[in-house]
Structure 1
Amino acid sequence: MLLQEALVSLSILLLVSVVTSADPTFNDDVLGLIVFKAGLQDPLSKLASWNSEDYDPCNWVGCVCDPATNQVTELRLDGFSLSGHIGRGLVRLQSLHTLVLSNNNLTGTLNSELTQRGTLQLVDFSGNNISGGIPDGFFEQCGALRWVSLGGNRLTGPLPVSLSYCSTLTHLNLSTNQLSGRLPREVWFLKSLKSLDLSHNFLQGDLPLGIGSLYDLRHINLSNNWFSGHLPSDIGTCSSLSLLDLSHNYFSGNLPVSMKTLASSSFTFLRLRGNSLLGEIPDWIGELATLETLDLSANNFSGNAPSSLGNLVFLKELNLSANFLTGEIPQSISNCSNLVSIDVSRNLFTGDVLNWNVAFLQGLRLLDLSSNEFSGEIPSNIWMLLTSLVHLNLSTNSLFGSIPSAGIGIGVGGLKLAEILDLSSNLLNGTLPSQIGGAVSLKQLHLQRNHLTGQIPPHISNCTSLNAIDLSENKLSGEIPGSIGSLSNLQYIDLSRNNLSGSLPKQVEKLTHLLTFNISHNNITGELPAGGFFNTIPLSAVTGNPSLCGSVVNRPCLSVHPKPIVLNPNSSNPSNAPPLIRKSVLSISALIAIAAAAFIAIGVVAVTLLNVHARSSLSRHDAAAAAAALAMSVGETFSCSPSKDQEFGKLVMFSGEADVFDTTGANALLNKDCELGRGGFGVVYKTSLQDGRPVAVKKLTVSGLIKSQEEFEREMRKLGKLRHRNVVEIKGYYWTQSLQLLIHEFVSGGSLYRHLHGDECVCLTWRERFSIILGIARGLAYLHGSNITHYNLKATNVLIDAATGEAKVSDFGLARLLASALDRCVLSGKVQSALGYTAPEFACRTVKITDKCDVYGFGILVLEVVTGKRPVEYAEDDVMVLCETVREGLEEGRVEECVDARLRGNFPAEEAIPVIKLGLVCGSQVPSNRPEMEEVVKILELIQCPSQEFE
């Protein structure tokens, strides 16, 4: 392809040379633009007007000329869907001062020649796929350069020191790349700089002093990096600063006092969330009078919230959540009449809830006071004041009194925009106001664990968007309104542990999306409905209703003839076949799974042959070199031996600590006694730091297939930044051409596979199993949110923390390194070496491989955890495919047989059945039918019951 492009470019150059010699009006701009176009693919024909026979480029799309000279001064091609490389042709445009190629699909590396002409003032290549480092020459002769935007690409390596030469630079955006290393002090030499955005990279270390000399700096965004240490003490002398975002880093210590001098500027935005800042929130914060956003969440702040917050009269967003703040919310906050969002959840605040001048609540869209120690009554006029509210969460406090009825859902003063209303886990009494039906946008209603009385208002059916209703553990009475059957979006209903009576309305049979329906421990009478969800409703979801009859409660209904059992006509299991074993013809999906497994097995053989040479090259010299390297003291995050030293290779640690490996522990890489396990990518050993802390080291057995050190290190830096309680932390790596090691945290409890199928495994309780499923879901959702597809999800790649019981997803991200060396079918055999977890699209080259592959594997894992059975099991003359077996058992009402026999009678069916259904949905053969992992997490959190009965 590259050869073809070169020939095309050469042909154009020859053509242009002929035309140029024949016609003196054919200028350099035409020549440069035609050559530039030759290196592009233009699928939408946006550049159709660029014609070599037209000697005037001023009429070409995207070109702007100087009317005096007819030379191109601006080239704007943003959002043209162009691909290809940024060729040298643009160098010929000698009068060009504006070059905008943003939001295309351009690849290749940066060309220093573009900026060395001295005329360019604005360069915008953002939103492309440009890779490689930023060459020093790109900024060495920047001349009049004022605006540079390279954000949203795949740039790697450090920031060049030559950046400091651009004395006229006012805007610099290098965000959302893979830049690494420390921030050079020379950046602060850019005295004209007004905006600096380096967010979403892998930059590390302390911020050097000197930022205070940038008197014109207005916006600085360094969020989502690895910066550490204290905030710069001179940051307050940036007298023009209006936006400061240092969130999601590793900053520690107190807020620097110099920040209060920012009060003299138009300082409107301060976000420091997700660091390790501590101490009290200083009183001088109220002197930053122009602030509109203040976000100090997810830090370690303590003490009282300062009353000076009331001085921030322009404040729109206040977020102090997830700290250790105590005392009362200062009443002065009612002076902040422009507030749109207040989140002070997950602290230790006390006092009367909303003990403010509530008139200022009228503009609020989000109010979250949950998980504190608030008390008191909800103000009677609150609903009339919350005219713009979308999200209200007052849960897990000590609120008492009744839910105010005046104004709820009435006219313009009602909850017309509210989507989430959560008053759960309080001490509220009285009735649920009938006007709740006016909250027509409501999606979630949580009032569980209170002391509410009276009836469920039938007007709740007006809330047509509802997908979750939880009124459990109250004192509600009367009948369940039949109108609830019109809420077609409902997935979760919990009315358990109340005093409800009457028969269950037939209309609830229309709720086709139900995952959970719990009416247990009430006084419901009559016959349970039949059909749909109610064919599989668990006994625990209806128990505690003495006058309820039907097959589920094993109590016949008087004067009602028993209904015939209707078997699934598509079931391949004969009625006399033993449960969970099929002796007849396998289903189509089972045959597909078996065929895919055979195809994968061939792939495994192929990969094994490819790796013979790679494994043979791992000599004792390599292992000894690795041991020596691991014994080095790592003083900085990227401390390593010289890259040309092949004896020791390159050791990188992400912790930033002086981690010292015990030489004896490193030598254990050659000791099979320290081997923890073997997988599709390599062998894992346990070793220790010199302070005794254990770590796990994976010695990759695919070394011969990883040719690019740059690509390997780029992927490792990306993986090393991941921090989540349900994801195994990558601590570092070691590289030589023939040996690669991955250093990650040691998880003491071993693999999920061992807990489910090991010879000495102890039976997991239902609560432990549910926690493991939820942990895996959260870990996967985090990986997908970080743009990482696992590809290799199976029970052996989920580890269990022995101390907490938490599940941790491991062995992620490595498949991407092999994607260029192997086709995906062979790769799937190498990665998915455990039979049964492979998504069916791996066997089809025309289907795109996405995160939905992980969702499929997760669905199979869910069923494996619930049933205690492997994804594929073999009996004499038969194969049992777990997904098919569970689906048939569920459809035929054999719920008990779909749960691990060791848990029989000791699990909550109201949780188990929705979980099984969720696993089947995730394991759908069609990728588009599988939910996103974020949705899966939300569903599991809704399914989870508060009962401790099955611990």
Structure 2
Amino acid sequence: MKTRFLFFLLFILTTAAETTDPTLNDDILGLIVFKADLEDPQSKLASWNEDDVDPCGWVGVKCDSRSRRVAELSLDGLGLSGKIGRGLLQLSSLRKLSLSRNNFSGALNPDLTRLENLHTVDLSDNALSGPIPSKFFWQCRSLRSVSLAVNRLSGEIPATVGNCLTLASLNLSSNLISGSLPSEILSLYGLRVLDLSGNFLIGKIPSGMGRMFNLRTVSLKRNWLSGILPDDIGGCLLLRSLDLGENLLSGVLPETMRRLAMCSYLSLRSNNFTGDVPLWLGDMKNLRTLDLSKNGFSGGVPDSIGSLQFLKRLNFSENSLTGSLPESMGSCRGLVVVDFSRNSLVGSLPSWLFQLGLQKILLSGNNLNGSVRISSASEQTVQILDLSANTFSGLIPSEIEGLLSLQTLNLSHNFFIGSIPVIFGKLNVLEVVDLSVNQLHGNIPQEIGAAVSLRDLKLEKNSLSGGIPIQIGNCSSLTSLILSHNNLSGPIPPTLAKLTNLQIIDLSRNNLSGNLPKELSALPHLLSLNISHNFFSGEVPSGLFNKISPSSLSDNPDLCGSAVNRSCSTVLPKPIVLNPNSSSSHSPSSEFSPENLRHKKIILSISALIAIGAAVLIALGVITITLLNFHVRAATSHSAATLNISDDYMSQSPATDANSGKLVMFGRDDPDFSTGAHAILNKDCELGRGGFGTVYKTVLRDGKPVVIKKLTVSSLVKSRDDFEREIKKFGKMKHPNLVCLEGYYWTKSLQLLIYEFVSGGSLFKHLHESPELNCLSWQERFDIILGVARSLAHLHRHGIIHYNLKSNNVLIDGSGEPKIADYGLAKLLPMLDRYILSSKIQSALGYMAPEFACQAVKITDKCDVYGFGVLVLEIVTGKKPVEYMEDDVVVLCDVVRGALDEGRVEECLDGRLAGKFPVEEAVPVVKLGLICTSQVPSNRPDMNEVVKILELIRCPQDSQADDLC
């Protein structure tokens, strides 16, 4: 009742404002009404008492010393939530309003800027949503600084922002703002700070920015801006920081940028800029940070870089730079970070590399050569040294032990020889050591036990010998131990079980032997353990391989137990036979040592001889029966695997097929799926038919369910060598959101692909055939979209295009995770015939990118992006890509795009969700789907960008600006 009275009184005061002079009570009343809209779980506003004479002593309130009116309200980081109500409109003398780092929600109040004296508004780091009202910028009056960063505001930047001629700082970063940059923003001649980063802005940067001569800081990073940089950008002579990274900008850098002599921070990373690195960069004398990474720059590194005396961080990684590193860079005395990784640089390391006091040296993925020489200077500051994937040779320099600050050492994929230098004793902060894929030999140093901070140790693919040192048990921080593909021998040291942080252990392809320590079963965080291709023996400890693939035990012929499907021999007690000539001081164990058995005559009792004879006869009988059973079973299994398949699908005789067929199971030593072949004959096991073939469910001999796809494009499939090359490539694709390829079967006229079985059915069934009570929630739909995006990004990074993305090829496992099936199968065809792809393979209409209809347009991974966009719209709307009516054909993309243009996109969402979805997530997801279905391939984002955008939509508060390195 009291709150209702306050609202009523506020209404009367507001409507009478034109005829009534403001009084001291206006401030108290306005703040109390404002508080009534809030939740204050920590009672931070307990001091706000409506009975006080004035609010000047309240938490977060500052008053003008003369008028005693509220001049500042700063409630940053107090854990407040609720709406920003109309009570604040009573604070007519308010100059500064700062409510950042809380959880205020709802729409932005457009009347806040009606306060005539307001010059600072900071509502950043909240949960405000909806579009920015045009009215918010309509009457700016004296507004100087506005920050709405890190919220969930959407829509376009209102053109009315051009009215705020007094504005000096505008920060709308990390929101969901879309559309293009309004040209009206260029009329803000007094603007010093402009931060629009982390949004969905598209289009070109408008020319005219050069007229904004007061600009000091501009950040437009993490948007979708495209086109070339305007030539007049060099007119911003006072500019100190320019960040245009992570956009789609292209072309060469305009030469007018050389006039930005005061600029200390320049980042253009992750764009499509081309051409040589300009010589005029040396004219930007004040540069401290220069980041041109992940572009298409070519040519050599210009000598003019040496003119940047104040340069601290230099990142030219992931370009196409050639030539050698210039010696002139030795003049950059302030340099602490250099990153030239993943280019095509040649030559040896420059002399200045270990003389400038660098902290991070990143030169991986080039063609650098020669030996590595490290200065013996007493004070080395290197924290990260990454020279991997080059052609360095010679010994690993022992001077590395002098790099006392070293945290990461990566010399992998080179041609280093000799032994591992003793570097572990002194480098107390060393966390990562990667010396894999070299030509190192000798032992692993025992001094490794001193590396108490070591997290990752990778020494695979060398020629290391000797045993695994027991001192490794002192490396208490170790999480990853990779020693595979060496010549290591001896047992696994039991001290390894002390490393409770271990997650990955790979000891495969060595000469290790002995029993497996039972203590390994107790490692709490172990995710992967591979001991395959060694000489381990004895029983596999129970529980050790419950969550680990049996392939990680393969090629250890003396291992036994349920984990390897091999029974352990029953150990019978040996009869105790005493030598009457021996003294009582000798134990039975010493009496039967190999030496004594050679040199002593042991007298056996008659009962012992009878027992031994009986045991021998029984053993011979067991062996005979076992061999007969094995022979019969093998013959039956082979016959089943051959005859059943050929009888069902082939016209050749069993003998012919047996000679020509080939079965390969990835990661399995015993490729037997005789039960699977039997199940194929049973039509009840058929799961469905698609463009590539018929799918059956079956069970392998070890009880594991799998899916077998019989290809119906046999006449089109490539040769055996090409087929196997592509299939093995797919077999290496491991990702949580990809259906795992387990193996394949080949003959000239029959090809079978063996996949893991995914229990939850297809996405198509969940969307279009499930009852309303079991329909997917918004959270589940978003997780599916994000999982599919991540799996496609993974495929594209490895050069694999799906070609056939649709809801039938997205399977849902028991935990609700999506898994993509049928990826890359079009590559099995001798050529990517568009007619075959469009008419046969793509059996579901609506997902095909328009370029399939044009022979002149190259088929790229942007086809998958188009299909993904259609899939996104299908998931959020619950409608099929194409639906047939009595007199019409309805295309989903067109319907949703029209609804977006008319401002009613929310009406398109699946009605079964019944409003149970966050609008601030749903609308941007729909817009993303439409952008992915752009008719022009170059306008579609790549899947890595899609993943980043989805993560931003889900968690915009996590998209803070990150450091260069």
Q: Measure the CA separation in 1 of the matches of 2:197 and 2:52.
A: 44
Distance 1:712 1:116, change over 3 A: closer
Aligned partner letter, 1:377: S
Other-structure match for 2:321 = 325
1:303 maps to amino acid:
G
Q: Which residue of 2 aligns with 1:871?
A: none
- Offset at residue 490 of structure 1 (A): 3.0
Q: Which residue of 2 aligns with 1:508?
A: 496
> 1:208 is matched with which residue?
206
What displacement does 1:317 show? 1.0
Secondary structure of 1:353's partner? coil
* Structure 1 pair 429–382 and aligned structure 2 pair: CA distance change class (3 A): farther
Partner in structure 2 of residue 434 of structure 1: 422
Q: Give, in angstroms, the shift of residue 83 of structure 1.
A: 1.4
Structure-1 separation of matches of 2:701 and 2:417: 52
Q: CA deviation at 1:305?
A: 0.8
Aligned twin of 1:372? 366
How far the C-alpha of 1:422 sits from its partner, in A, is 0.7
Normalization by structure 2: what TM-score?
0.60
Contact conserved, 2:355 with 2:375, CA < 8 A, in 1? no
Secondary structure at the residue paired with 1:273?
A: coil
Amino acid paired to 2:316: L
2:189, 2:90 → 1: CA distance?
Answer: 31
Query: What's the counterpart of residue 952 of structure 2?
Result: 786
Which whole-Å CA distance do the structure 2 matches of 1:206 and 1:398 have between them? 42
Deviates most, 295-304 or 420-429: 420-429
Q: Deviations over 1:706-730 (max 9, x none)?
A: 78899779745456559xxxxx983
Whole-angstrom CA distance in 2 between matches of 1:113 and 1:518: 63
Q: What is the Cα deviation at residue 16 of structure 1?
A: 9.6
Equivalences for residues 195-594 of structure 1 within 5 A: 195-263=193-261, 265=262, 267-356=263-352, 358-360=354-356, 362=357, 364-381=358-375, 386-387=380-381, 389-406=382-399, 408-409=400-401, 413-416=402-405, 418-524=406-512, 526-532=514-520, 541=531, 543=533, 553-555=556-558, 580=703
* Secondary structure of the structure 2 residue equivalent to 1:392: strand
**Does the CA-based 8 Å contact 1:223-1:249 persist in structure 2?**
yes
State the alpha-carbon separation in 2 of the partners of residues 414 and 505 from structure 1: 30
**Could you tell me how far 1:456 is from its partner in structure 2?**
1.3
How far is 1:426 from its partner?
0.7
Change (3 A) 1:315 1:715: farther
Alignment partners' CA distance in 1, 2:911 and 2:345:
58
Cα deviation, residue 71, structure 1: 0.9
User: Which structure exhibits the higher relative contact order, with contacts defined as CA atoms closer than 8 Å and separated by 6 or more residues?
Assistant: 1
Structure 1 residues 24 and 259, CA gap change in structure 2 (3 angstroms): closer
State whether residues 921 and 953 of structure 2, in contact with CA within 8 Å, keep that contact through their aligned partners in structure 1: no
Counterpart mapping for 1:658-677 below 5 A: 676=843
The answer to whether structure 1 residue 10 and structure 2 residue 7 are counterparts is: yes
Residues 499 and 142 from structure 1, CA distance in 2 versus in 1: closer, same or farther, beyond 3 angstroms? same
What letter matches 1:606 in structure 2?
Answer: E
Alpha-carbon contact 1:76-1:100 (below 8 Å) kept? yes
Q: Report if the CA contact (8 A) 2:924-2:953 is conserved.
A: no
Q: Residue in 2 aligned with 1:128?
A: 126
Match of 2:911 among 670, 681, 704: 704
Structure 1 residue 439: Cα displacement? 2.0
Whether the 8 Å contact between 1:230 and 1:253 is mirrored in structure 2 is yes
353 and 39 in structure 1: CA distance in 2 versus 1, 3 angstrom threshold: same
Residue in 2 that maps onto 1:944: none
- Structure 2, unaligned stretches of length 5 or more? 541-552, 561-567, 573-699, 706-758, 761-765, 778-837, 858-862, 880-908, 959-965
Question: What percent of counterpart residues are identical?
Answer: 39
Q: What CA distance in whole angstroms lies between the structure 2 residues aligned with 1:31 and 1:581? A: 71
Q: 1:307 and 1:337 mapped to 2: Cα distance? A: 15
Partner amino acid for 2:449? S
> Matched residues in 2 for 1:283 and 1:145: separation?
42
Structure 2: how far apart are the matches of 1:139 and 1:367? 47
Query: Cα deviation per residue 1:245-302 (whole Å; 9 max; x = unaligned)?
Result: 0011111100010000112x2x100000111000000001011111011000010000
Give unmatched runs, 5+ long, in structure 1. 566-576, 583-592, 595-599, 612-670, 678-682, 723-727, 734-742, 748-774, 790-812, 814-849, 852-951
SS at match of 1:252: strand
SS at match of 1:328: coil
Which one is further off, 482-491 or 96-105? Answer: 482-491
Deviation at 1:787, TM superposition (A): 5.0
Aligned with 2:42 (options 37, 41, 44): 44
TM-score (norm 1): 0.60
- Structure 1 counterpart of 2:452, which letter? T
Structure-2 change in CA distance of 1:533 and 1:402 (3 Å): farther
Cα distance in 2 for residues equivalent to 1:221 and 1:780 = 21
Q: Deviations over 1:81-114 (max 9, x none)?
A: 1112222221121211111111111122222322
Residue type at the aligned position of 1:76? S
Q: Which residue of 1 aligns with 2:850?
A: 688
Matched with 1:832 is: none
- Partners in 1 of 2:840 and 2:355 — Cα distance? 70
SS in 1 for 2:322: strand
| Deviation of 1:672 (Å) | 12
For 2:854 and 2:98, locate their aligned partners in 1 and report how far apart those are by CA, in whole Å.
Answer: 54
| SS of residue matched to 2:56 | helix
CA contact (8 A) 2:391 2:414 kept: yes
- Partners of 2:6 and 2:33 within 8 A in 1: yes
Deviates more, 1:118-127 or 1:705-714: 705-714
Superposed displacement of residue 316, structure 1:
1.2
Please give the per-residue CA displacement for 1:668-696, whole angstroms capped at 9, x wherever unaligned: xxx9999856xxxxx96546366477654
Counterpart contact for 1:345–1:371, Cα < 8 Å: yes
Please give the alpha-carbon distance, in whole angstroms, between the structure 1 residues aligned to 2:231 and 2:100: 36
Paired amino acid for 2:531 = A
C-alpha change, 1:206 and 1:14, in structure 2 (3 Å) is closer
Cα offsets for 1:35-65 (capped at 9, x unmatched):
2122222111111121111121111111111
Tell me the amino acid that sits aligned with residue 7 of structure 2: L
Cα distance in structure 1, aligned partners of 2:217 and 2:318: 26
Cα distance in structure 1, aligned partners of 2:428 and 2:515: 32
Local SS of the residue matching 1:356: helix
Partner of 2:771: helix, strand, or coil? Answer: helix
> Amino acid of the residue matched to residue 911 of structure 2?
G
For 1:688, give the aligned amino acid: P
Query: Deviations for 1:777-817, whole angstroms, at most 9, x for unmatched residues?
Result: x999857743549xxxxxxxxxxxxxxxxxxxxxxx9xxxx
- Quickly say closer, same or farther: Cα 1:473–1:130, change in 2 above 3 A: closer
Read off the aligned partner of 2:460 and give its amino acid letter: S
Say if 1:218 and 1:240, in contact at 8 Å, map to a contact too.
yes
In structure 2, relative to structure 1, the CA distance for the partners of 1:563 and 1:129 (3 Å cut) is: farther
SS in 2 for 1:374: strand
